Chain A
Amino acid sequence: KQEVTQIPAALSVPEGENLVLNCSFTDSAIYNLQWFRQDPGKGLTSLLLIQSSQREQTSGRLNASLDKSSGRSTLYIAASQPGDSATYLCAVRKDDYKLSFGAGTTVTVRA
């Protein structure tokens, strides 16, 4: 069974600092990996999707890397803003196409 772990569970940084969020998974035989953002009381918004053959994916201030062999992904958010405050979830998709989620990292960016 795929286990997905996100550390730390919570993170507080001053505005402007770069954010580094970690995700680890136990089974490296994945189809792809997806990072989501969840605001309080809201659903999940997809941020980045990395195919198993890719090493990284970028969108604006967001960059996600994938090291499949070591079972790790990292989400980098450059120059954080108060609007980046949310919970960030990592999810791994195996060849049955189902998602296994981590518990998330709750980020607070202080103005």
Chain B
Amino acid sequence: EAGVAQSPRYKIIEKRQSVAFWCNPISGHATLYWYQQILGQGPKLLIQFQNNGVVDDSQLPKDRFSAERLKGVDSTLKIQPAKLEDSAVYLCATQVEGGPYEQYFGPGTRLTVT
């Protein structure tokens, strides 16, 4: 079974530029999460999708971050414009319906904003 795929793996941009990250979930996983992990901290949830609908985006900085999940499969997370404090690893995780709600994580995208 293929795992969660993410691209790009690394990205370096200047502040005020825009960037987009892509996630392809494990086949059949209806729930998809985007997390932000700042160095030295645990992952923090940004947004949760159930199929192509948003379940929770309460911690997403909506003035600069946006996310979508087309047709309930692939998802993209965008930052525009980026700030220095957005430097982090962005992790995508997916989850099958029903208990025990175990999440499977992709390799992440390391973003550096200069």
Contacts and interface: CB of A to CB of B under 8 A. Distances in A.
Given A42-B107, A43-B108, A98-B48, A91 B101 contact: no
Contact of A99 (B6, B41, B103, B106): B103
A44 B40 CA distance: 14
Given A41-B110, A43-B91, A99 B104 contact: no
A35 to B, nearest CB: 12
Contacts, number: 50
A51 B106 CA distance: 23
B contact residues, range: 20 to 34
B61 interface: no
Nearest to A99: B103
A91 B42 contact: yes
Nearest to B91: A43
A101 B48 CA distance: 16
Contact of B42 (A46, A93, A97, A103): A103
Nearest to A50: B100
B43 interface: yes
Contact of A103 (B4, B40, B100): B40
A76 interface: no
Contacts of A104: 42
A98 B100 contact: no
A4 B43 CA distance: 12
A32 interface: yes
B8 to A, nearest CB: 13
A48 to B, nearest CB: 11
Contact of B41 (A34, A49, A91, A103): A103
19 contacts: A4-B42, A31-B100, A32-B100, A34-B102, A41-B110, A42-B108, A43-B105, A44-B91, A44-B93, A44-B105, A89-B42, A97-B95, A97-B101, A98-B48, A99-B103, A101-B42, A101-B43, A103-B40, A103-B41
Given A43-B107, A46-B104, A49-B100, 10 more contacts: A4-B42, A32-B100, A36-B105, A89-B43, A97-B101, A98-B48, A102-B42, A103-B40, A103-B41, A104-B42
